[in-house]
Structure 1
Amino acid sequence: MGLAAGLAGCGTSGGNLFGGGQSQSPEAAAQPAPGVGSPVHNALFGQPVQAGPQALQENLCPRIEVRDGSNVWRQGGDGPTELRYQATITDLARECRIDGQTMIVKVGVEGRVLSGPKAEGSARLSLPIRIAVTRGLSQPIWSRLYTVPIDVPAGSPNVSFTQIEDQVAFALPPPEELQNYIIFVGFDTMAQPQQRQRGRQARRGH
């Protein structure tokens, strides 16, 4: 089920970009990223792009990974019997091109929402998904938070979702530095209290 995403906010900050996340493990860094032409890429974006003057070699496109500790979002109390809904990121893809001195990356995120024992009827969920580009593991280059709306029908055990962003853009670094860039994706759990607070302030203003 294709779902549009509303922009919740944007900006960069130091430190941990994802609430509840941890530093990337060496094992995760060694895993190859899904590239143009892979099954994941084709599922999210369609067929591979044709080679052209702006097309990049696979090794020049920053790798894409789920930030450690940010691949799961849940709603409900503690413990499996209190779970209402749980969302998980299942697949990622990215596609890079160069426009002058700017690198533009198209990022695709695919996931699934599971209904837990405490799910009640139909529900509209808002998943806080952050896409961020860093130099190394922690130096922020670009970051944006999205609120992805998900409708879960009554009695549905699971629902899939897709988020695609085609304007991840940053200044093109020298090739020797580009290999240190990483595109991180994950649920930003720390953003939710801020969103609720903004909502309460808006209601008080009316």
Structure 2
Amino acid sequence: MTRQRSMFLQAGASRGFTRAALFTLTALSLAGCGGGSMLGGSSGSESSIGSRFSQLFGSKSQAVGEPAPTAAEQAADAQLTCPAVAIRAGASTLAVGAPGKPASGEDLRYQVTITRTARDCNLNGGQITARIGIEGRVIVGPAGAPPTVDIPVRVAVVQEGVGDKVIFTKAYRTSVAMGANGESTVYSFVAEDVIYPAPKGDAGDQYVFYIGFDPNGLKPEAAPRRHRSKARAG
């Protein structure tokens, strides 16, 4: 389990995910990192977000907990398998506390959840280009949320088996403006640059799109140390 979690949280890792409930996504917004788009709004904009979500994915979205659409329903091309979406165990919610405080009780600033998912796939030149969408809500806690909330998300393509193989993994960050009166806010995100080689034969049946919140995925790397040159003896 430790290996599975570290793989999800680190972009360069190569294996290990925990299978969770299958879902399918939706989205609309403008991501802080390339390859995604994001839209957030107050609870009053929930219907418009849902409407635009439907424009992107049509009937290819579902609420968390609903069974995923079959590959036949997702792909018009008989040669194309569009994997189901799974939320990684332990990564379905993101809770943030006040600085230096635990994210619980009166110290909870906000909690981000995933309520709906969707995906679609296209085959071109031996590669699959997929769009993975997430819709959810930012719930304001007792400590009060900041005006803008950053949402870190990781999307991965995994071939499951005796030794799970990571085909694609990327961390994204999106931002959503909170309501002026401290209201909970609906958000939506779509990763548009999920590209990987088309699997051969029945291997595609083992592929899964994994998603989840990844607060460590976009931490800046430590700057390399500079080696001081020794002064030459005179």
TM-score, scaled to structure 1: 0.70
Q: Find 1:63's aligned residue among 68, 81, 84.
A: 84
Is 1:80 aligned to 2:105, yes or no? Answer: yes
Unaligned 5+ segments in structure 1 are: 1-9, 17-21, 202-206
Q: Distance in 2 between matches of 1:42 and 1:57?
A: 26
8 Å CA contact 2:57, 2:120 repeated in 1? no
Q: Find 1:117's aligned residue among 142, 151, 156.
A: 142
8 Å CA contact 1:41, 1:92 repeated in 2? no
Q: Distance in 1 between matches of 2:79 and 2:136?
A: 24
Bigger Rg, structure 1 or 2: 2
8 Å CA contact 1:131, 1:183 repeated in 2? yes
8 Å CA contact 1:133, 1:182 repeated in 2? yes
What percent identity do the matched residue pairs reach? 22
Shift of 1:41: 10
Aligned pair in 2 of structure 1 residues 83, 162: CA closer, same or farther (>3 Å)? Answer: same
RMSD of aligned residue pairs (Cα, Å): 3.3
- The match for 1:179 is 205
Q: Distance in 2 between matches of 1:63 and 1:106?
A: 12
- How many residue pairs get aligned? The number is 172
Q: Find 2:157's aligned residue among 129, 133, 153.
A: 133
Shift of 1:75: 0.9
Q: Distance in 1 between matches of 2:51 and 2:206?
A: 23
8 Å CA contact 2:155, 2:212 repeated in 1? yes
8 Å CA contact 1:129, 1:186 repeated in 2? yes
8 Å CA contact 1:112, 1:161 repeated in 2? yes
- The match for 2:54 is 43
User: One-letter code of the match for 2:151?
Assistant: L
Shift of 1:174: 1.1
Unaligned 5+ segments in structure 2 are: 1-9, 27-49, 61-74, 224-234
Q: Distance in 1 between matches of 2:114 and 2:165?
A: 23
TM-score, scaled to structure 2: 0.63
Q: Distance in 2 between matches of 1:177 and 1:147?
A: 31
User: One-letter code of the match for 2:84?
Assistant: R
Shift of 1:11: 4.6
